[in-house]
Each structure stands twice: as C-alpha cells, then as structure tokens.
Amino acid sequence: MVAQVVRRILAPVELAERRDLDLGYAIGLAAQLRADLLLFAVIDTPTTVNLIGGHRARSGTGDFEKALRDEVRGILQQLVDQAAAAGVQALGHLTFAEDVEEQILKEALVQQVDLILVRSRGRTGLMKALLGNTAGEVLKAAPCPVLVART
C-alpha cells in the first residue's frame, strides 16, 4: 500500500477581490487526494479597503476590527461549509498582517502542510506573475511543494 503523500493542503483565500472566492479547484483537489484543506485569509490593507467598500453600514458597532474579523470569519465558514458539502474536511483561519507572503509561509510551517495551492492571474506573462506577486514569493520560499493555479 502506498502512503498518502498530500494530507494537508493550504489554500490562501484572496479577499481583496471578491471574485476570487471560488475555491472549487482547491476543494476538488482536496477531495481527489482525500486531503484536509486549510483555508487561510490574511487581512491586509487592500483587503480591508475592499471589505469597507462592500460593507453594509453598521450603526453602533463601535469596534471596526471586530466587525471586520466577524465578516471574514463568516466568509471562511461559508467556504468550509462548501468544502464539507463536497466531502472535504476544511478549517478556516485568519490573521491581520501586511506581509501576506510571510504569513502564508508561516502558516504552512505551523500547520505542517504538504502542499500550498496559490492562485495567479498571470495577466502579464507567466514569469512576471511568478516572480512579481504573492504566488511568486510563496513559490520562492515555501517549505513544501507549491501548486500555482492560473485563474
């Protein structure tokens, strides 16, 4: 019997642009590999600005960071539920930080993942996409294999 090589997949969730919330590829891959899926969101300035722009006015909340954290937890829970519906065990986690790449790499180490699945738009050529964005930075320093999925 062959040992399972990929048991835990880390999939960073891009919240700066809402259209990137489709994690069907990550969920499908985890299902095929029978791997756990770790969904990780880093709340940085672009994410915060996007969430503020799409945020419904909440009167009297008083604590913006808590409201933002609750909103992102809700998004992650929807994705965890989507994975569960496909038979994939998933867990969502979030952190506040400006260095997204560094946080993804730290999470990969802490969670001892076997694969990081990052998405890249590849708008201006593969080399520029790999070397000049989050996917490229993660690819250069990851402690495990990285799968870059073009979106």
Positive or negative: CA dihedral 143, 134, 52, 65: positive
Residue 54 has pLDDT above 50, yes or no: yes
Of 49-53, 86-90, 132-136, which gets the smallest average pLDDT?
A: 49-53
Residue 36 and residue 8 in contact, taking contact as beta carbons nearer than 8 Å: yes
CA 7 from chain centre, in angstroms, equals 17
> How far is the CA of 87 from the CAs of 34, 35, 40, 84, in angstroms?
9, 10, 19, 5
Residue 13 and residue 79 in contact, taking contact as beta carbons nearer than 8 Å: yes
Report the percentage of the chain scoring pLDDT > 70. Answer: 75
More confident residue, 151 or 67: 67
Look up the pTM and report it.
Answer: 0.82
Residue 148 and residue 120 in contact, taking contact as beta carbons nearer than 8 Å: yes
How close are the terminal C-alpha atoms of the chain, in Å? 35
> How far is the CA of 49 from the CAs of 13, 17, 18, 36, 44, in angstroms?
16, 10, 12, 31, 9
Residue 12 has pLDDT above 90, yes or no: yes
Mean pLDDT computed over 19-47: 87
The chain-wide mean pLDDT, for the chain, equals 83
Beta strands 90-96 and 36-43 are: parallel
Per residue in 104-151, pLDDT (tens digit) is 999 999 999 999 999 876 656 555 544 457 888 898 999 999 998 876
> How far is the CA of 28 from the CAs of 48, 49, 72, 112, 136, in angstroms?
29, 30, 22, 21, 23
- The band of 31, judged by pLDDT with boundaries at 50, 70 and 90, is very high
> How far is the CA of 96 from the CAs of 38, 66, 86, 117, 134, in angstroms?
17, 11, 29, 20, 16
Residue 14 has pLDDT above 70, yes or no: yes
